[in-house]
Structure formats: structure tokens, C-alpha cells
Amino acid sequence: MASLDNGMSMMDVPTFWQYIVKGAILLLAVWMDSATKRRS
């Protein structure tokens, strides 16, 4: 998450969009984790 934050800051992405992107990635990670655990 920190490197993602640094990269978006370097690219001058507005703070609002940084929160949106980080939230979306976090939701995707949780969804993928739960999807793989259901298959096991």
C-alpha cells in the first residue's frame, strides 16, 4: 500500500482519487481471498 501511495503521489493524483483507488484495491483483495477460500 505504501508503494502504491508513493507512486500515486509522484504522479500527482489528487488525494480523493488515491482513497478511491486504495479502497478498490483493498475490496478486490478481500473478494479474491474469500473466493479462493470458498474453493478449498
pLDDT at 38: 86
Position with higher pLDDT, 39 vs 12: 12
Q: Is 38 exposed, middle or buried (0-12, 13-18, 19+ CB in 10 A)?
A: exposed
Instruction: Decide if pLDDT at 39 tops 90.
Output: no
**In a 3-state reduction of DSSP, which class is residue 31?**
helix
What are the tens digits of pLDDT across the range 2-37?
Answer: 999 999 999 999 999 999 999 999 999 999 999 999
Q: What is the C-alpha separation between 31 and 8, in angstroms, rounded?
A: 23
Instruction: Decide if pLDDT at 40 tops 80.
Output: no
Q: What is the C-alpha separation between 10 and 31, in angstroms, rounded?
A: 28
Let me know: does 40 contact 19? Beta carbons within 8 Å: no
Q: What is the C-alpha separation between 20 and 8, in angstroms, rounded?
A: 12
